[in-house]
Amino acid sequence: MNLDDGLIAVVKRDCPTCLLIEPVLQAIEQSGQPLTVYTQDDPAFPDVRQRRDDRDLECSYRLAIETVPTLIRVVDGAEQARTVGWARDEWASLTGIEDIGVDLPSTRPGCGSKSVEPHIAEQLALRYGDFTVVSRRIEVSALEDDIEYCFDRGWSDGLPVVPPTEARLYRMLQGTQREPGEVLGEVPPNLVALTVEKVALNAVMAGCRPEYLPVVLAAVEAALDPAFCLHGLLATTWFSGPMIVVNGPIREAIGMNWRGNVFGQGNRANATIGRALQLVVRNVGGGRPREADQSTFGHPGKYTFCFAEDEATPWQSLGEERGIAAGKSSVTVFSGDGVQGVVDQQSREPQGLIDSIAGSLRAVNHVQIANAADVVVVIGPEHGRVFDQAGWSKADVTAALHEHTRIPGKDLGMGGDTAQDAAPGPQRVQKFRPGGLQLIRAGGDAGLFSAIIPGWLMKGPLGTDPVTKEIRP
């Protein structure tokens, strides 16, 4: 925007402070100084000669006006100084008029500029800014229902999605400092290049708020890590899908749930972050059910499976355990099946709880199968207090569960298979590989329960490892 030397004021009639300082603007004009006043709502206000109609808010947008009145001094075509609201001393300094507004109160706060009102800022950015969309634009007729259109195009997971308009995309991208064109990797099975912009589009459709976007981006990056083997997870006939666990300060900042009904409905952040990842896999990578996704049964968590960890416990958080510095936020992506409950309302000592949880763990996949999958054990608060009061660390509980889930070699095999060649004699085999049993703290205060979340194949040529990524702004 080309600026003429002199003073620029931006005002609106619907602002008591702007009405208050109308005589001040007239005094500036009478002093002979060049003054241009841009008015946001009433082209007849204020009563000065050099008044410009800014109802389209272009000038306000280009000058980055957030509060009215704003007074700006321009020298050699560039802004030299500005003040917002009414502060006599600051206006005197900018205008050089020592006795300016002596009959007025010394200060008055301004009002919000119309250019920053909800849903206006993104419209102005699209109209006057340098925001460009790389993704293909599709025009939807005014006679068509845009939500039904998304269903018809196959963009939905079976539930309604939020139509991804340019304004919504712009708003979503304000949640990250990363460039829209940054490539995060290739999404299987189609191995399509994934940009920040494409993630943001699917976050819009999932119903995310902009402040969730850094979490979604980190989760996507974790899922695309070769160690996670997303393609294999999609192609398997097993139940599993991606499961996201969030750690660090961002949990509270965006209002995530790690308490009651932690795996259930009702929390926007939990629900939409997990859904955004699934929509990226579907819409960018082509991972659709009965096509690339060959799961025999699936489970409801394949709509969305995301929760935060309770970090108000003596145990080291999952993020810290996996190398993320204290005070930083992170996501960890696991393969996850449905939730298997563990009830023990009797045990008041750690050993009793270990026996209960281990008994349930031995049934994962099959009681006669070992080293087939990893597992996440979510310790509920009441069970957690039993361990805490006895001074048991996360490492203590993990080691005890490994020990109590060992299977006698003679018991390995299913049905009529004795599997004697695999494990003869009295040898006891670990149910889970080292590192394949992960403990997390979460859940509601009421209820002596914990939860088991089995996963897909442990790491191997076709298996998966959990992946942790720090969340970047």
* Residue 403 maps to a domain: yes
Q: What is the pLDDT of residue 414?
A: 63
Helix %, strand %, coil % for the chain, to 5? 30, 20, 50
* Residue 144 maps to a domain: no
Question: Rounded to the nearest 10 degrees, what angle do helices 394-404 and 350-361 cross at?
Answer: 50
DSSP 85: S
Q: Which domain holds residue 416?
A: 149-470
Same domain, 233 and 296: yes
What is the count of structural domains for the chain? Answer: 2
Tokens for 329? 């936020």
For the chain, residues with pLDDT lower than 70 are: 414-426, 459-461
Same domain, 110 and 165: no
**Within 10 A of 235 (CB to CB), how many other CB atoms are there?**
17
Same domain, 375 and 240: yes
Q: What is the pLDDT of residue 423?
A: 46
Same domain, 217 and 119: no
Q: What is the pLDDT of residue 416?
A: 47
Rounded CA separation 244/276 (Å): 11
Cis peptide before 46 (omega within 30 of 0): yes
Same domain, 169 and 122: no
Same domain, 116 and 233: no
Q: What is the pLDDT of residue 421?
A: 47
Q: What is the pLDDT of residue 419?
A: 42
Q: Which of 96, 128, 160 is the last residue of a domain?
A: 128
Q: What is the pLDDT of residues 142-163, one digit of tens each?
A: 889 999 999 999 999 999 999 9
Same domain, 246 and 358: yes
Rounded CA separation 91/94 (Å): 5
Q: Are 223 and 438 in contact (CB under 8 A)?
A: no
* Residue 143 maps to a domain: no
Same domain, 238 and 109: no
Q: What is the pLDDT of residue 136?
A: 84
DSSP 211: G
Same domain, 242 and 276: yes
Same domain, 164 and 287: yes
Q: How far is CA 452 from CA 8, 291, 343, 363, in A?
A: 65, 29, 11, 11
Q: What is the pLDDT of residue 461?
A: 65
Rounded CA separation 442/317 (Å): 11
Q: Which of 268, 260, 256 is nearest to 308 (CA)?
A: 256
Rounded CA separation 367/359 (Å): 10
Rounded CA separation 307/305 (Å): 7
Q: What is the pLDDT of residues 351-403, one digit of tens each?
A: 999 999 999 999 999 998 888 899 999 999 999 999 999 999 999 999 999 99
Q: What is the pLDDT of residue 3?
A: 86
* Residue 44 maps to a domain: yes
- Give the type of residue at 408: P
- Give the type of residue at 282: R
CATH code for position 106: 3.40.30.10
